[in-house]
Amino acid sequence: MSLRRCLPLLAFLVLAAPASASVPASFYTPPKALPKAPGKPIHTLSVQGGNLPTGKSMVVMYSSKAPDGKIVPVTGIMTVPKGKAPKGGFPVVSWAHGTTGIADSCAPSRYAGDAATNDYVKNFRAEASEWTKDGYAVVQTDYQGLGVPGMHPYLIGISEGRSVIDLVRAAHAINPRVGKRWAAVGHSQGGHATLWAAALGPKYAPSLRMMGAVPLAPASHIGEQAAAINKVQGNPFGGLPALIIAGALEDTGIDPATALSDKALALYPQIEQVCLDKLGAQDSWGGLSLNEIFRDGYDTQPLIDEISANDPEDLTIKVPLLIAQGKADNTVSPGFTEQTVADLRKRGTKITYKTYDGIDHTGVVEAAREDTDAFLHNKLG
């Protein structure tokens, strides 16, 4: 496979955090004693306006299970429709967001009440508002380690998937009008998370009824792409390589000082200080050539193996999927998505695959809106 084809994913969508926060920072400090099981609410705070869907919204801290089995706090947003709930409660759409970064300030819930800053966020708010008007509760996880203490395990599938699932359980515990029938929808990094949620959901949370999932331009084949990083002079991909490497180092327990060059190690603290847009600056990871990230002679194979182990194309998924992909996407390769669809189908996954001519990575969310809504109506009613 050519180097050019192997690396487009490293230009993931950047959803930079706005400059002002609407949720108090104190909300993100977890108590010393956490629930002993995942999917339990810890505390909540009502919020309104801004980029929130229509309905009654609150930010939520809830428990989830980390890849090492420990219970950890996670934050997110839940919005419940107005009016009387149907029998069994409002079905749930669990949204998984695209890449923002690893720093706590990059958590989307921190800006829940702020006005939308770009068309991408405005369009999602409009679609999520249609979901609540259609009678669906909408929950939006920040993911483990994003917003709260601890590192966000970026693109570590079990962590992402459990975050998406456990907020559904917590929402039902907070408000009994929220039902147990649900579907996951996510874009880019969130598409990766959605595939993992679909694979994990039925066994991890058997008390819920997962009806399907919609990955939009999902990240895949990351191991193949990561294996090519050290062959690249310069850095056309900004802070993305840093996030991918940080997630793998965290999950394997490898000491960054062992793996990273002195230049990379000096920049490493910035990963948990600023969001992806600033990580791409010339005085940050964007100014570090990719072939200078690792120490000379360091064997990167354990990290590549870890990244590959989190690739969603190797999952077994038993719930139906709608996978959507823009044909003009230069971020998530349409070829990789086609391979993912083929691999999942070979293992028995029922997939409706939709492609959209002339649509790029960002535009697929809006382009697939009608198909997404039809899928949700079919699966959730």
CB 288 within 8 A of CB 342: no
Q: Which residues pair with 324 in a beta bridge?
A: 216, 354
What pLDDT does 114 receive? Answer: 85
Cα 294 from Cα 226, distance rounded (Å): 12
Give the dihedral sign, CA 14/212/72/109.
positive
Lowest mean pLDDT among 89-103, 105-119, 175-189, 257-271: 105-119
What pLDDT does 6 receive? Answer: 46
What pLDDT does 299 receive? Answer: 93
What pLDDT does 69 receive? Answer: 96
Q: Where are the domains of the chain?
A: 13-221+316-380, 224-308
Residue 322 has pLDDT above 60, yes or no: yes
Lowest mean pLDDT among 52-56, 207-211, 258-262: 52-56
CB 275 within 8 A of CB 106: yes
Residue 11 has pLDDT above 70, yes or no: no
What pLDDT does 35 receive? Answer: 97
Quote the DSSP letter at residue 343: H
Look-up of token digits 């084949």: 221
Chain-centroid distance of CA 259 in Å reads 26
Percent helix / strand / coil, the chain, rounded to 5: 40, 20, 40
Look-up of token digits 């360091």: 298
CATH number corresponding to 13-221+316-380: 3.40.50.1820
CA-based radius of gyration for the chain: 19
User: In 10 A of CB 85, how many CB atoms?
Assistant: 17
Cα 80 from Cα 58, distance rounded (Å): 9
Tokens found for residue 21: 């926060």
Residue 187 has pLDDT above 70, yes or no: yes
pLDDT band at 115 (very low <50, low <70, confident <90, very high): confident
- Residues 348-363, mean pLDDT to the nearest whole number: 97
Apex CA 305: angle with CA 270 and CA 344, to 5°? 110
Cα 334 from Cα 337, distance rounded (Å): 5
| pLDDT tens digits, one per residue of 278-308 | 999 999 999 999 999 999 999 999 999 999 9
What pLDDT does 2 receive? Answer: 39
Cα 357 from Cα 369, distance rounded (Å): 15
Smallest Cα–Cα separation from 196: which of 153, 239, 228, 237? Answer: 153
User: In 10 A of CB 287, how many CB atoms?
Assistant: 14
**Average model confidence (pLDDT) for the chain?**
91
CB 55 within 8 A of CB 61: no
Amino acid, res. 221: H
Cα 198 from Cα 185, distance rounded (Å): 10
- 188/14: higher pLDDT: 188
| pLDDT tens digits, one per residue of 205-217 | 999 999 999 999 9
Residue 51 has pLDDT above 90, yes or no: no
CB 363 within 8 A of CB 118: no
| pLDDT tens digits, one per residue of 132-178 | 999 999 999 999 999 999 999 999 999 999 999 999 999 999 999 99
What pLDDT does 124 receive? Answer: 86
